[in-house]
Structure 1
Amino acid sequence: MELEQSILSKDVQCMLNKLKSQATNHAETPKQAVKNKALKMIKKLLVTKESIYDFGMLLANSNDITGEELGSILIAEQFEINPKEVNNTLLILADSDHWEVREWVASACSIILVNHFHEYYQTFYEWTNNESPNVRRAVTVAVKYVSKLKNQEMANQLIDLIEPLLSDQNPYVKKNLGAFAIGDGLLIYYPNQVMERMNDWIKIDDENVRWNIAKIFSSAEGMKYIEDSIELFKVLASDSRPTVKRAMKSTINGLKKRNLEIYSKYFEEGDLTF
């Protein structure tokens, strides 16, 4: 089989050409199932960690979308071979112009965090200060993925990872933080730790922090905690800054649609009624 032979001979371009022939008409890359099958084949045929890593680096540096996606996962899985090189490579790919590559890199970072949490944590934390919003956003997505482990020992450190981003002004980062990484991620698996931290965050007089808190409550999971967080909600409702007011309006409208009972009990025409 030509695909198998290209992998065994580490002919990256030949392998990628074969995969491109399976790309869909509306996408630049093959379907997820095809790429997952390719990953399994690479690991089966190349056998050793070193060979898989070397091939992964070739793919990651191929300047090809599919190659960068596959390569990011392969080198993440073999992180221990060369941690610095892996991090530097993923850091570059995290700022890719192509959104699918950025998604795969976020997944790759979550793999490293799961398997090498203490070794990689501080290095990954530095990504929160990166000048690229794409890189900072990768942190939020990776944290959400890792939160599914339900490892209580990781809880506070995972929250620490995203905490610096609460004040981030970039729309791409914000979109993936409050409702997504926290509301649909951390809050589901570590509710006590997140709610405790939110009581600290509400004291921060920053409109982006307040925006994110409001957005946490806009998630399906976050809405479950509104009634127990009315004092916190009062602070949000009293914030006159347009950014916060818009987030609150969106959250309250969502509550009306999803939980009319709680909405009717505490709100009237979108405002708190105490």
Structure 2
Amino acid sequence: MTSWREDFERMMIEKQWNEAVAQLEKEKTSHAGTAPAQVKRKAIKAIEKLLKEELDLLCEVTTFFAEHKSPSAKEVAAHLIPHLYDQDESLCIRLMYDIADDENWEVREWAAGGCGEILALHFEDFYPVLSEWKVDDSENIRRAVVLAVMYASKTLDESYAHKLLHLLEPLMSDGSTYVKKNLGAFAIGDALLKRYPQAVVPWLFRIVDAEDENVRWNVANVFTSASSRTFYEEGEELLKKLEDDESKLIQRAVKKARRNLEKATSAAPK
């Protein structure tokens, strides 16, 4: 009896791409409606192994998967696209845009990861694309920029910090709830702050007095993340600047952030 991967690889070799997608669909769960992450990673690795020397064919397969109605196929495509960026930049941008704006929330998650991978691998080329996307009409696309920066920061060193923050700064005033809940606490508090503290902390002090309520809310929410507890003193200093804010929204965010930072002091050895 052949394994799932062997069957999938045979279908790819024989160019039975619809059958390969159907193989993915058989594995989908009721929770997300897509195949489990480990299955999709197996599919990605199988395709990469089989077609790494045949970029034209890889391009065909990736396009087929990206444009398929199957969410699992789109998710696989999201992590094949970065390998093709040098081959056909415009195609990759178009496919990734469509996947990042997909109606399925989990597909959008995988697209954000793919965008982060492209940014890390092709920074100078993809940065201007994300600069356009950050003002896109779709909140899904603007959120993809936020998460792309977060994922790319895993591999980009501190020399990239200021450019990444410059990309995020206009999004700090974005009123979309979908964008906001992924920005202050998540992308900045859980990622950029701990990776680039020497750039992020001064940046937060520079924007904390912004007129826009969303900016101030995001600054406060940076310190609701677990990772931010390391920066207790900096967080308290910033929160003091916001504690008398006229906005009830900001006041609630400050209280939430302080409750989080207090966990750092209670956990410290006495």
In structure 2, what is the equivalent of residue 36 of structure 1?
41
In structure 2, what is the equivalent of residue 271 of structure 1?
none
Report the CA distance shift for 1:258/1:227 in structure 2 as closer, same or farther (over 3 A): closer
Q: Per the alignment, in what secondary structure is the counterpart of residue 125 of structure 1?
A: helix
Deviations 1:220-239 (A, max 9, x none): 23233232354432221121
Q: Letter of the 1:40 partner, please give it.
A: K
Partners of 1:150 and 1:190 within 8 A in 2: no
Partners of 1:128 and 1:136 within 8 A in 2: yes
In structure 1, what is the equivalent of residue 138 of structure 2?
132
Partners of 1:150 and 1:189 within 8 A in 2: no
Partner Cα separation in structure 2 for residue 107 and residue 32 of structure 1: 13
Q: Letter of the 1:4 partner, please give it.
A: E
Shift of 1:67: 0.9
Deviations 1:15-69 (A, max 9, x none): 0111222223444222111111111111222232222122111100112101111
Partners of 1:8 and 1:46 within 8 A in 2: no
Partners of 2:40 and 2:76 within 8 A in 1: yes
How many aligned positions are there? Answer: 262
Q: Letter of the 1:30 partner, please give it.
A: A
Q: 5+ unaligned residues in a row in structure 1: which ranges? A: 263-274
Q: Letter of the 1:174 partner, please give it.
A: K
Residue among 24, 27, 37 paired with 1:19: 24
Deviations 1:64-122 (A, max 9, x none): 10111111211222111111111111111111111111011111111111111011111
Residue among 61, 65, 68 paired with 1:62: 68
Stretch of structure 1 that moved more, 236-245 or 185-194: 236-245
Q: Per the alignment, in what secondary structure is the counterpart of residue 79 of structure 2?
A: helix
In structure 1, what is the equivalent of residue 128 of structure 2?
122
Residue among 204, 213, 219 paired with 2:210: 204
Shift of 1:3: 2.3
In structure 1, what is the equivalent of residue 3 of structure 2?
none
Q: State percent identity of aligned pairs.
A: 37
TM-score when scaled to structure 1? 0.90
Tell whether 2:239 aligns with 1:226. no
In structure 2, what is the equivalent of residue 268 of structure 1?
none
Deviations 1:136-168 (A, max 9, x none): 111111111111125121111111111111001
Q: Letter of the 1:196 partner, please give it.
A: P
TM-score when scaled to structure 2? 0.91
Shift of 1:258: 4.3
Stretch of structure 1 that moved more, 202-211 or 39-48: 39-48
In structure 2, what is the equivalent of residue 96 of structure 1?
102
Q: 5+ unaligned residues in a row in structure 2: which ranges? A: 1-5
Q: Letter of the 2:222 partner, please give it.
A: I
Deviations 1:156-206 (A, max 9, x none): 111111111100111111100001000111001100100111111113111
Residue among 148, 151, 156 paired with 1:142: 148
Tell whether 2:92 aligns with 1:86. yes
Tell whether 2:115 aligns with 1:109. yes
Partners of 1:77 and 1:111 within 8 A in 2: no
Q: Letter of the 2:245 partner, please give it.
A: D
Shift of 1:254: 2.2
Q: Per the alignment, in what secondary structure is the counterpart of residue 223 of structure 2?
A: helix
Shift of 1:208: 0.5
In structure 2, what is the equivalent of residue 240 of structure 1?
246
In structure 2, what is the equivalent of residue 272 of structure 1?
none
Residue among 57, 60, 75 paired with 1:51: 57
Stretch of structure 1 that moved more, 219-228 or 96-105: 219-228
Partner Cα separation in structure 1 for residue 267 and residue 117 of structure 2: 41
